[in-house]
Structure 1
Amino acid sequence: MNRQLSSNNLMANFFSFSEIDLLVFGLIVLFNVSLAVSAAYAQPLSRPSVVGSVRDAAGKPVEFATVLLLKTGDSAPATSSVTSQSASAAKLVKGAVGDAHGRYVFDNIGPGTYQVAAQMVGYQKTTSALFTVVADQPEVKVPPITLLQSSQTLGEVTVAAKKPFIEQLPDKTVINVENSIVSAGGTALEVLEKAPGILVDNQNDRITLKGREGTLIMIDGKPTYLSAQEVVNLLRNTPSNGVESIELITNPSARYDAAGNAGIINIRLKRGSRKSGTNGSSTLGAGYGRFPKASAGLTLNHRAGGLNVFGNYNYDYRESFGSVDALRKFGSGDSLTTVNNLGYRPSTAQNHTFKVGADYALSKRTSIGVMANGLISNNQATIDNKNLVYDAKGQLEQTVTMINVSTRGTNRLATNVNFKHTFDTLGRELTVDADYSRVTIQPQDNMRTRYLGTGGEETQPELIQRNRPPSTVTIRAAKADYVHPLHQGGRLEAGGKISYVTSDNDVRFETLTENGYVADPQRTNHFLYDETITAGYLNANRDWGKWSVQAGIRAEHTRSLENSVTLSKVIDRNYLNLFPSAFLTYKANQDHQWRASYSRRIDRPNYQDLNPFVYVMDPYTYNQGNPFLRPQYTNAFQVSYTYRNETNISLSYNHTTDVITGVNEQQERVMRVTTVNLAALDNINLSVSLPLKPTNWWNLQPSANVFWNAYNAEFAGQRLDYRQLSANLTLNQSFILPYGLTAELSGFYNSPSVYGMMHFRGMGQLSVGLQKSLWDKAATLRLNVSDILHTMRSGGTLNFASTNLSFISQWESRVARLTFTYNFGNRNLKTARQRRSGVEDEQNRIGGGNN
């Protein structure tokens, strides 16, 4: 099958879906239209509206103020008051956000006595005089509410409102990177290492969450659709200076993509301030470990009326290294052979990340937005692999060296168009997103292998090879989400999504001969992968006093096409899955909340694991894909308790079938690394987060994740039933010191764990940071040192079937960094409207085009 014919067929598949695609998508559209039509005809009889405006002391409109409609008793004083006791004791009826002209509207208000409270960051809260609404009034006009400015300055507000580095919420954990001292100048991957429940395996480029593989990595609420290795590389090349926060969600609802059996990691990039006028910040940083590092960044934001334009750019330069010491044994008796692999990899990386976008409020209820973010990365490395081969008596037989001069260029561009319309003040709204992104990876490997005897002499001619495995991943996606409030506190949500992902990986592996470079047919392969997912969901929730119930169902139809052009082999898959979810919450009072949840999730094999091509890692190790991988499915159960929205305790059980797992197979002298489906994995996790404040200048946030992993499978004709009790412990502390100094001390420890047939040893690190505010808090100077005890060492053993392997690896984890940030422009805290979808309001949903 030639490439042109294949491309035409795939485009035809995109524009001409299968019957199941059309059926699912048609039902989604029909359901949303019927909801909108029924809602339009089912509006209750018109009742009076309450209208008014919010002004400052000069009589100018206060943009996007928060306005509350309160129902009070007739005995309350009919006067305006900044600290009205009647307002604090009144019952909240509705909330709203004023428009760019300071105006607000409350529709459909029943008879009674009311008061309006208005508030805005930087102003004192103010309430109106009492007024009465009667049934036959068409409209009640409230006199303008005047807000007086607070005496607080920007700097004071910033200190008081600073979020903790780790914020534990009932349904997710938030890592607030933006204000973290110990994270300044690092990478997004280094920040993840400090997150509770996260294990980053730098040796094998994988990320686990609470002991489980298969996390869905999202950037600004959009899936990356990259392989696990490419995701790790992406995070490794993303500077932390451009990251606002990282969200960890272990049990998502039906509104999320069903991918990610361990949960979702959403990385939110900075988008600039939401204050009126023009403002921004600039950052300069430098660091040194064994090698130098440098960074610079600029963030700009302009808001005027209903228009907000924002953007940021970050540059990161870093030199670093990695090393590995691995020992492999194969054979037995007199044929026992031991290979000691010593690898050293110095590297240089230059990364450019950017984000630009605009939001515009067409009206007080309708807004549109566009956004683009991207990464341009160039990496160079010299990989020096030395393999010492010993016989059964421990005598050196041979030394095989391989020098690989490697370059890697990565370009990523993601664009989004977002539309949001709120139909009324009851919360009925529609959000539509269209996304396009493209990732291009251009790696090059130039390998020179030499075979040396015990005296250093050449025992056979050197081998010169080169590898060019360029790949391109293109994503097109569109989705719509509709929220419809029901009577008595209920809510109905529905939506649909379609995504079309194509991957083109053209591996050209060549060996130098007397006649020039000749392609190696065993390692050269042109592989195309195309995947169309059509999804629809229905989600409903309802409150009954202290109880809250949410239930949903998500349907996803997947059509994937694997095409090995070189091998003339095509695998076509077509399947439909249902993913139910349910959540039950009991809120005893403001301090105590209980929650139980269930969800079913899927992880589809990524294109790199499906590609059957061979990638040479060293003369004795190669990696090969598996085109017959199947998706893995997980049933996840969780119960949790939250105290004062701070302390969180959760217990979860997860059962995964057809577990996608990396394995190692010894084939004579060469080890084959591949990915297979194992039968089942059971995971039990106990998570505890307990913030403490011993004094007013000292905050602690310890957390613990204790998990039990148990594999139940067969591989290579042998039983694999490894079981391991493991723990992830984190402790983050912040201190307020004299002379305007603040400090952070952050540490974590990951105990020994098991992954497939591999046992990993424990590791951890301790990092410290110091911060000083300058120039009336317009500038900040941060100094931090990561891994001050130099304890970050990854190691493990594998002893299964004929494979016997142990290794230890390290990288440049101890680095000192100095970062300077300067804030400029309008520092007035007249905060403009912060766009949030109805999903965020109800379930802190990831998504929305320009969040």
Structure 2
Amino acid sequence: MKLKSHYFCLLLFSILSNTASFAQNTAIEITGKVVEEGGRQPIEFATVLVADTYTKRTITGTTTGENGNFQLKTSARDFYIEISFVGFAKRKFENPTPVNGKIDLETIVLSQDQQLLDEMVVRGERSQTEFKLDKRVFNVGKDLSSTGASALEVLNNVPSVNVNIEGQVSLRGSTGVQMLINGKPSVIASEEGNALGTLTAEMIEKVEVITVPSAKYEAEGTTGIINIVLKKEDTNGLNGSVTLNTGTPNNHSLGLSVNKRTEKLNLFGQFGIGRRTFPSDNESVNQDLINETRLESFGKSYKNESFINVILGTDYYINKYNVLTLSGHFAYEKEDEDSDTDFSFLEAGGGQTGGSRRLEITEATNPKWQYELQYQKNFERNKEQSLLFSALGNFFGKDQRSDFENITTLGSDPNSQQQTRTDFSEAQYTFKLDYVHPFLEKYTLETGAQYEIKDVTNDFAVSDLLDGVPTNNPDLTNIFDYDQKVFAVYSTAALENDKWGVKLGLRWEHTDVQTLLQNTNERNDLNFSNLFPSAHTSYKLSEHSSVQAGYSKRIRRPRLWDLNPFFNIRNNFSIFTGNPNLLPEFTDLYEITSIHELGSVSLNLGLYYRYTKDVVERVTRFENNVSTSRPENIGTNNVTGVEVNAKYIPSKWLSVSGDFNYNHFSRDGTFEATSFNFDGDQWSTRITAKFKFPLDIDMEISGDYRSRYQTFQQEISENIFADFGLRKKILKGKTILNLSIRDVFASRVFETITEQPDFYLSNSRQRGRFVTFGISFGFGKGEAMEFSGQKRF
């Protein structure tokens, strides 16, 4: 009897357990309607979140439809419901009780929060640039003059960063910057690919400027690191935005950003297509001061570029602590360029002794792609503890053909024709493992490793047309192979409390570089290991004032174009070539920065010092009216500078920001028994005024000045230019109209002068004014783009 009673209890327990389990797995349906206070108009795209009562982690969510209604389901039991929309106070429903498996919230009224709106405006302005322990973060989205801009133009508006008319990026007046995408190397950002223009501004979430990088970052980049962080929407439901641009000269593009988020999966993608024309006016002078002869050239070129850009990816949430991400980035460009240049040869008295006209027609295709597999594990004991592994692959290719025709306009030289062919490919693979372990609330330990492989081939050939038959020129034809492998391990330790913080790190890198000129079997191998220490500290003087200091050791390894001894023959009288024997640069960086918030004024003052040895400078030689420039390692460079960033917000409708950078440099070096010691300085400033008018109209005016400065042999001329932007929001901000004018007065000219005892060189190039009009529309929870797409500057 007791046995039967025992079995009966077990059976009853099993039935109750299964019933409970069944009940727990039964989904609860949640419905309701969201309206605004006053007119009781439905609110479309309001966010409805269901979150765990204890962990506060989002369980599921949706957005309201056109009539303000929403419907969703959850199997959770301990949860709360939160309804929110931009500019309105949130509504929260704690532990709602289902009735017959349903929760009907009926009509939920949201009231506008004017204080919240005002705070958002001021906070948005103040947080455009954020200062952290070892970097500054520039949040993209407030810069109206970059409508229709590429990543290069976005960078040009970031404090401390400059992009010249050739697309070369510098930081605090110096090149040697390491460019990263999402914290990793990428051919999209490499100098070899010159492909940053394939990133349109609406794809960018923020730009991180790391002037004194910690040991966590790879040691490449003697000036510092610029990290471009791309947007990746993860809002629940289907969300996105569409943007369309048109402008002059010939600037047309279409962009789409979209994501679909469920409880387990986030699918995201961006798409862009466009066409741009870059006109250019070019002038140059080659003067022989010994023989008093002179060569002058004047020309125009038109580069037409069509591009398509696609980013696709998915996040799979295995569980609350493990996320797997797979993403791919594909870009394809088609280029064609026409140029027409006149050359005049002048004798000592000024009379013309000869003349020619050089025509060029170039066509190129540039495929680029990037793919990444990433796994991130978070830990229950501390939300800051994480393990991250990523495998990244990049490829960039260029298939280019050029036809040149030389027509004699004065003199007896015969007409001639040339052809060039370039087949370029770069493959790059990066494997990273990073672990972050916080403990005792104040301490954080980071450690990790990275292995990078870069494999590059440049097949360049020149043919002379003799009687219409292409004949290979062996002196200008070769295949150059460049292989680089870098293995690194690092560790950092940080202590941070309410007042004081310190972070110490050490990185070890081993580099193996091999170059080969196949046709002549010329090899050059470099193999070296280095330690790269770093140190950062910060101290909070008061609630509104703090001081930071940092040190880092850096390296700049020679790039492909620095090493490749073969050159393009676009201009036979101005030749740029590489040096396969070039050594890396090493730099010690020091910096101290004070940060102050004084009411409506924020002020940041920084002092920095850089010491670089084995400095790479281009040395120009001159013979028979032909200048040949080649990089060489020449001596040391000491740079001492000051930088000021300030913002003043006197009212909700006006903000004024300014950036000022000055540095003095001292060069010590000898080349071919000749001393090239010299001192110099340079400075730059940018002032931006932003106005907020009624009817959701914003306007921005900015002015830039870059002083002249000296290099090893050259003088780079000063530059002054202005940008203008205007924006109008309609349909509650879901649609944005943008107008931008870059280089309003067409005053931006890139000019270099090389003056030596026996020769004088002058080169200038101007692009002119760019006007762009764009319209953007956001759907779902997505916001309309404040930037829109185009090719590079």
| Normalised TM-score (structure 1) | 0.78
- Counterpart in the other structure of 1:235: 196
- Counterpart in the other structure of 1:330: 288
- Counterpart in the other structure of 2:426: 473
Q: Tell me the CA shift for residue 713 of structure 1.
A: 1.3
Q: Tell me the CA shift for residue 679 of structure 1.
A: 1.0
Could you tell me which amino acid in structure 2 is paired with residue 583 of structure 1?
H
Could you tell me which amino acid in structure 2 is paired with residue 221 of structure 1?
G
CA distance in 2, matches of 1:270, 1:128: 33
- Counterpart in the other structure of 2:740: 784
Contact kept, 8 Å, 1:194 with 1:748, in 2: the verdict is no
SS at structure 2 position matched to 1:222? coil
Could you tell me which amino acid in structure 1 is paired with residue 145 of structure 2?
V
Q: 1:153 to 1:66 in 2, by over 3 A?
A: farther
How far does the alpha carbon of each residue in 1:732-780 deviate from its partner, in whole angstroms, 9 at most, with x for none? 2211102221111122111112233211111122111111111232211
- Counterpart in the other structure of 1:659: 615
CA distance in 2, matches of 1:825, 1:418: 27
Which residue, out of 434, 439, 462, partners 2:391?
434
Q: Tell me the CA shift for residue 547 of structure 1.
A: 1.8
SS at structure 2 position matched to 1:461? coil
Q: Tell me the CA shift for residue 579 of structure 1.
A: 0.4
- Counterpart in the other structure of 1:800: 756
- Counterpart in the other structure of 1:300: 258
- Counterpart in the other structure of 2:183: 221
Q: Tell me the CA shift for residue 460 of structure 1.
A: 2.2
SS at structure 1 position matched to 2:143? coil
Pairing 1:394-433 to 2, within 5 Å after superposition: 394-426=350-382, 427-433=384-390
SS at structure 1 position matched to 2:152? helix
Contact kept, 8 Å, 2:188 with 2:195, in 1: the verdict is no
Q: Tell me the CA shift for residue 642 of structure 1.
A: 0.9
Contact kept, 8 Å, 2:49 with 2:82, in 1: the verdict is no
Could you tell me which amino acid in structure 2 is paired with residue 240 of structure 1?
A
Measured on the aligned residues, the alpha-carbon RMSD in Å equals: 3.1
Q: 1:101 to 1:661 in 2, by over 3 A?
A: same
Contact kept, 8 Å, 1:764 with 1:791, in 2: the verdict is yes
Contact kept, 8 Å, 2:186 with 2:370, in 1: the verdict is no
CA distance in 1, matches of 2:93, 2:542: 27
Pairing 1:531-546 to 2, within 5 Å after superposition: 531-543=484-496, 546=499
- Counterpart in the other structure of 1:486: 439
Q: 1:485 to 1:220 in 2, by over 3 A?
A: closer
Which residue, out of 53, 59, 65, partners 1:100?
59
Q: Tell me the CA shift for residue 253 of structure 1.
A: 0.6
Q: When the two structures are aligned, how many residues end up with a matched partner?
A: 708
Q: 1:353 to 1:149 in 2, by over 3 A?
A: farther
Q: 1:179 to 1:688 in 2, by over 3 A?
A: closer
Which residue, out of 151, 167, 172, partners 2:135?
172
CA distance in 1, matches of 2:109, 2:612: 56
How far does the alpha carbon of each residue in 1:686-708 deviate from its partner, in whole angstroms, 9 at most, with x for none? 11111101222101111111112
How far does the alpha carbon of each residue in 1:350-393 deviate from its partner, in whole angstroms, 9 at most, with x for none? 12112111111111111111111122111111122222111111
1:207 aligns with 2:169: yes
Q: 1:430 to 1:229 in 2, by over 3 A?
A: closer
Could you tell me which amino acid in structure 1 is paired with residue 271 of structure 2?
Y
SS at structure 1 position matched to 2:154? helix
- Counterpart in the other structure of 1:820: 775
Which residue, out of 219, 224, 230, partners 1:269?
230
Which residue, out of 267, 271, 274, partners 1:309?
267
CA distance in 2, matches of 1:118, 1:643: 39
How far does the alpha carbon of each residue in 1:195-253 deviate from its partner, in whole angstroms, 9 at most, with x for none? 322232325x522110111001122222135897545x312444334333322221111
Pairing 1:401-800 to 2, within 5 Å after superposition: 401-426=357-382, 427-453=384-410, 459-487=412-440, 489-514=442-467, 516-543=469-496, 546-644=499-597, 646-800=602-756
Q: Tell me the CA shift for residue 325 of structure 1.
A: 1.3
CA distance in 2, matches of 1:795, 1:220: 34
CA distance in 1, matches of 2:109, 2:587: 53
CA distance in 2, matches of 1:328, 1:828: 53
Contact kept, 8 Å, 2:608 with 2:642, in 1: the verdict is yes
CA distance in 2, matches of 1:587, 1:786: 40
Contact kept, 8 Å, 2:358 with 2:405, in 1: the verdict is yes
Q: 1:262 to 1:121 in 2, by over 3 A?
A: farther
Contact kept, 8 Å, 2:180 with 2:189, in 1: the verdict is no
Q: 1:767 to 1:65 in 2, by over 3 A?
A: farther
Contact kept, 8 Å, 1:522 with 1:614, in 2: the verdict is no
Could you tell me which amino acid in structure 2 is paired with residue 209 of structure 1?
L
CA distance in 2, matches of 1:276, 1:404: 52
Could you tell me which amino acid in structure 1 is paired with residue 409 of structure 2?
L
Q: Tell me the CA shift for residue 656 of structure 1.
A: 0.7
Contact kept, 8 Å, 2:462 with 2:473, in 1: the verdict is yes
SS at structure 2 position matched to 1:588? strand
Q: Tell me the CA shift for residue 531 of structure 1.
A: 0.7
CA distance in 1, matches of 2:596, 2:479: 55
Which residue, out of 164, 184, 196, partners 2:159?
196
CA distance in 2, matches of 1:168, 1:218: 19
Could you tell me which amino acid in structure 2 is paired with residue 561 of structure 1?
Q
Q: 1:627 to 1:225 in 2, by over 3 A?
A: farther
- Counterpart in the other structure of 1:246: 207
Q: Tell me the CA shift for residue 611 of structure 1.
A: 1.1
| Normalised TM-score (structure 2) | 0.84
Contact kept, 8 Å, 1:623 with 1:673, in 2: the verdict is yes
Q: Tell me the CA shift for residue 120 of structure 1.
A: 8.8
Contact kept, 8 Å, 2:51 with 2:59, in 1: the verdict is no
CA distance in 2, matches of 1:121, 1:717: 72
CA distance in 2, matches of 1:57, 1:667: 82
CA distance in 1, matches of 2:200, 2:573: 35
SS at structure 2 position matched to 1:609? helix
Q: Tell me the CA shift for residue 716 of structure 1.
A: 4.4
CA distance in 2, matches of 1:421, 1:408: 43
How far does the alpha carbon of each residue in 1:258-289 deviate from its partner, in whole angstroms, 9 at most, with x for none? 00111112223333x3321101110011111x
CA distance in 1, matches of 2:527, 2:546: 42
Runs (5+) with no aligned partner, structure 2: 1-28, 34-46, 62-78, 96-104, 785-793
Q: 1:509 to 1:737 in 2, by over 3 A?
A: same
Which residue, out of 278, 281, 295, partners 1:320?
278
Which residue, out of 196, 210, 218, partners 1:257?
218
Contact kept, 8 Å, 2:51 with 2:60, in 1: the verdict is no
Contact kept, 8 Å, 1:184 with 1:241, in 2: the verdict is no
Q: Tell me the CA shift for residue 633 of structure 1.
A: 0.5
- Counterpart in the other structure of 1:5: none
Could you tell me which amino acid in structure 2 is paired with residue 276 of structure 1?
N
Contact kept, 8 Å, 1:528 with 1:562, in 2: the verdict is yes
SS at structure 2 position matched to 1:349? strand
CA distance in 2, matches of 1:346, 1:667: 30
CA distance in 1, matches of 2:727, 2:747: 24
Runs (5+) with no aligned partner, structure 1: 1-54, 70-95, 103-115, 130-145, 830-851
Q: Tell me the CA shift for residue 125 of structure 1.
A: 8.7
CA distance in 2, matches of 1:542, 1:118: 38
